Amino acid sequence: MKRARIVGTGRSVPPKVLTNADLAKMVATSDEWIAERTGIRQRHILDPSLAASDLAADAGKKACAAAGVAAGDVDCIIVGTVTGDCPFPSTATFVQKKLGARAGGCAFDLSAACAGFLYGISIADAFIRTGQFKNVLVVGVEVLSRIVDWTDRSTCVLFGDGAGAVLMTADDSGRRGLLSTHLFADGALTEVLLQPAGGSREPISAEAIAAKRHLVHMNGREVYKHAVRNMTASAKTALDANGLTAGDVAWVIGHQANLRILEGVSDRVGIGMDRFFINVDRYGNTSSASLPTALDEAIEQGKIHDGDILLFTALGGGLAWASAAVRW
């Protein structure tokens, strides 16, 4: 049985660090409040001279190198992002050019906010299993610092910039690779977390900018509630679909939005926090970049071994959420 397998990972994180102490000089907040409510200690911020595709191409290059796949052999580039270089063309096409990937291969973006990476690997899986594409690069990248209201303490402390990438290809042994993906969305909850202006519904205007409607708007409590509930439910769906139990899971790679959300999921799924990989303290919430960045770090730290079962779960704007199970 042919499965899609992750054969290389990479990440790119901008060097500039913004600590909680730095934020306390900008808005009425404190390291204690942020750390206690979110687990975040610092986040990385991209230099204004660079864009999402710069981070994405750097992460993509590293994933290709780790996989031993030449950029010229990448058939398809999928970029999950809500902060791409521009509304069109896709950030993926900028990445294709920067990587030197195959002209005529396909490249496109997808918008599923913090679930973007899992939506991306699910699409890659379908392409690979049907034989349409052989080598698929899936990138999650965000430059959320560009759409955050730096005067709103309830949102600006949460987010960071970064990119993570995986190179996926076919594994004909059928033993290793992506076991399942489950994708969900509930459009009744679009208002809970959104960037209202800047699209066709509310084009950018002086009025929109004055009202800060081109920036992130969020009902934090609602997001929190749905995140715990739906990340838990989708994680359980992944386990059930594969006949797995909580005890089979080596690592949960959960969306790094907030440590308390992950603790809530840990309680409800019955997998201890010692098996949740955590890097939200150093990166903040990097939305679609969160999972591939965490995966890449976990591999770098030698935490993941051949045959390990990995359980991924994420939720974000849409609301959109998803899970995946992988045998490494």
Q: Residues with catalytic annotation?
A: 114, 255, 285
Contact status, residue 109 vs residue 138, Cβ threshold 8 Å:
no
Q: Does residue number 5 form part of the binding site for ligand ACO (CB under 6 A)?
A: no
Q: Is 230 exposed, middle or buried (0-12, 13-18, 19+ CB in 10 A)?
A: buried
Q: Smallest gap, in angstroms, from Cβ of residue 123 to ligand ACO?
A: 21
Report 270-309 residues binding ligand ACO (CB under 6 A).
285
Give the contact letters, 18-57, x = binds to ligand ACO (CB under 6 A), - = no: -----------x---xx--xx-------------------
Q: Smallest gap, in angstroms, from Cβ of residue 134 to ligand ACO?
A: 32
Q: Which is nearer to ligand ACO, 33 or 328 (CB)?
A: 33
Contact status, residue 160 vs residue 102, Cβ threshold 8 Å:
no
Q: Which is nearer to ligand ACO, 92 or 158 (CB)?
A: 158
The C-alpha atoms of residue 243 and residue 71 are separated, in whole angstroms, by: 37
Report 208-227 residues binding ligand ACO (CB under 6 A).
218, 220-221, 223-224, 227
Pick one of 257, 271, 278, 298: the residue that binds ligand ACO (CB under 6 A).
257
Report 89-108 residues binding ligand ACO (CB under 6 A).
none
The C-alpha atoms of residue 294 and residue 119 are separated, in whole angstroms, by: 17
Query: Helices 91-99 and 52-67 meet at what angle, rounded to 10?
Result: 50
Give the contact letters, 118-157, x = binds to ligand ACO (CB under 6 A), - = no: -----------------------------------xx--x
Pick one of 67, 114, 137, 326: the residue that binds ligand ACO (CB under 6 A).
114
Q: Smallest gap, in angstroms, from Cβ of residue 243 to ligand ACO?
A: 28
Q: Does residue number 253 form part of the binding site for ligand ACO (CB under 6 A)?
A: no
Task: Give phi and psi for 130, each to the nearest 5.
Answer: -80, -10
Q: Is 225 exposed, middle or buried (0-12, 13-18, 19+ CB in 10 A)?
A: middle
Contact status, residue 95 vs residue 107, Cβ threshold 8 Å:
yes
Q: Smallest gap, in angstroms, from Cβ of residue 25 to ligand ACO?
A: 13
Q: Which is nearer to ligand ACO, 67 or 139 (CB)?
A: 139
Residues forming contacts to ligand ACO in the complex (CB under 6 A) are 29, 33-34, 37-38, 114, 153-154, 157-158, 193, 218, 220-221, 223-224, 227, 255, 257-258, 285, 315-316
